[in-house]
Amino acid sequence: MYRYERSVRFQEVDAAGLLFFPNFLVICHEAMEDFFGALVGGYAGLIRGRGLGLPCVALETQFIAPLRHGDAFEVQLEVEHVGKRSLQLSYRFMRGEQLCAEVRETVVVTDLEALKSADMPNDVRELCQHHQVGT
């Protein structure tokens, strides 16, 4: 499991003072970028240096408990499945022991010039397998 910690920022809340629901997905992407920071050149190197992206092709979200401005929380990222060209990732938003949201996302390794799926590079596969559920 990979852990990404931060707090809810003022600009991320809605009129009710709660983390605005689309921002959960923005934070998932932040956690994913941070996760791939372990690669040479990080996530930016994957995109700009190698011309590979990881666009989302499927998404499932469940909101369980609110997060408010200033709340500290942790995103627990796990790799559920590693395919030849795709990954299924799960994100759990935890405020202490309280589960606040769960997100499941499928991303596909994509050649950004051709805009077609591509085989997963070995270093990406190794990093993902290291954080895969059950390993």
**What six digits make up the tokens of 31?**
């956690």
Looking at residue 133, its pLDDT comes to: 85
**Is 35 part of a structural domain of the chain?**
yes
Q: What is the pLDDT of residue 135?
A: 63
CATH number at 17 reads: 3.10.129.10
The yes-or-no answer on residue 14 being catalytic is: yes
Domain assignment of residue 135, yes or no:
no
Any domain includes 22: yes
In a domain, 112, yes or no: yes
- pLDDT per residue rounded down to tens, the chain (135 residues): 999 999 999 999 999 999 999 999 999 999 999 999 999 999 999 999 999 999 999 999 999 999 999 999 999 999 999 999 999 999 999 999 999 999 999 999 999 999 999 999 999 999 999 999 876
Catalytic, out of 14, 111, 119, 123: 14
- pLDDT for 134 equals 79
The answer to whether position 13 is within a domain reads yes
List of E strands, the chain: 2-7, 52-53, 56-63, 72-82, 86-95, 98-108, 110-111, 116-117
Rounded to 5 degrees, what angle do the CA atoms 93, 94, 96 make? 165
Report the domain count for the chain: 1
Residue-level length of the chain: 135
- What values do phi and psi take at 25, rounded to 5? -70, -35
Which structural domain, as residue segments, surrounds residue 93? 2-130
